[in-house]
Amino acid sequence: MKNLSEIPRIPLAVLPTPLYRLPNVSAALHTNVYIKRDDMTGVSLGGNKVRKLEYLLHDAKAQGADTVLTTGGAQSNHAMLTAACANKLGMHAVLILKKRGVWERRGNQILNDLLGADVRFVDTDDYADIYAQMDDICAALDKQGRKGYRIPVGGSVPLGSLGYVRCVYELAEQAAATHTRFSHIVCATGSGGTHAGLALGAKLYLPDCKVTGIMVDDDPFDRIVPDLMRKTASLLDYREPIADADVRLLGMVGPGYAKPSAEGQAAIRMLAENEGLILDPVYTGKAFAGLLKMAREGAFTPDDNVVFLHSGGAGGLFAIS
């Protein structure tokens, strides 16, 4: 198997992100809850996509690209962070977004404007239409002697997931430094790359730790996540079998993707009131609601050490609520 450090990346994030125990939440849930602050990755308003982009944008540069193209919903944190990271590297970003939900100049759209991103809306529900448009834009760039690099929705491709394999390596170092044995990691599962990276990373560096992804949309993650884990594993020449049944999922989508849920909004208030920390309504609020549900249903003992991944989302908070 390869060493993770053999796969090149461009440092973009401020790492390691902070990790610490939440005393008030821990007391309320009768277990030990820690927060991994990937909302503080240090580019724009922070968030999980920066770790993925360290690998993806290295690949883009290595291929000679000067422009990155990506997609998502109108309030995509991933698209906004791609534009921010591209700026840091002197690259141009084209964001081809679904004209759905809040596409006015609010939330992440304000940030995209400030970042100078080239935003193009497509009136479609189908990413196939968007990818066709991306191909056209890349062909047009080619004719101008420029080069585009396509990043699929969420950056949830094997190379992007390596960012979250590396996050678990970082967690294992933080665990060793503080003599803490982490038993669980809970994250939001939106396109699956973060979950796949964490689950593979746990197999490699924290084998006693169980990763649970809280689904915030309706995609078939029971197939998507293990598939992405296997493809990410093959980048590292990791050959151990990865079974679909290894993947732990809990559905908390509520009324729909990017639509606030009652449980999610209550979870946001719970963390805000107890710890002074802010989650977002699309991803992390629903993910934390999933953690609260697991606690209620007896998933954690008083000796467990549970890490909640705060994956960001601040930009959307000011558009969706």
Residues in contact with ligand PLP by CB under 6 A are 47-48, 77-78, 154, 156, 188-195, 280, 283-284, 311-313
Mark out the alpha helices in 63-102 (DSSP H runs): 77-88
Contact 155, 9 (CB under 8 A): no
User: At closest approach, how far in Å is the CB of 305 from ligand PLP?
Assistant: 22
User: At closest approach, how far in Å is the CB of 292 from ligand PLP?
Assistant: 17
Residue (112 or 194) nearer to ligand PLP, CB: 194
3-state SS assignment for residue 295: helix
User: At closest approach, how far in Å is the CB of 140 from ligand PLP?
Assistant: 28
Residue (141 or 227) nearer to ligand PLP, CB: 227
Going by the DSSP 8-state scheme, the letter that residue 47 receives in this structure is B
Q: Which of 26, 76, 183, 191 is catalytic?
A: 76
Q: For 133-197, give the DSSP string.
A: HHHHHHHHHHHTT--EEEE-GGG-SHHHHHHHHHHHHHHHHHHHHHT----EEEEEESSSHHHHH
Residue (148 or 316) nearer to ligand PLP, CB: 316
User: At closest approach, how far in Å is the CB of 143 from ligand PLP?
Assistant: 33
Length of the chain (residues): 321
Q: Which residue has the tokens 């080069």?
A: 147
* 26 is known as an active-site residue: no
What pairs with residue 36 in β-bridges? 19, 309
Residue (96 or 141) nearer to ligand PLP, CB: 96
Catalytic residues: 76
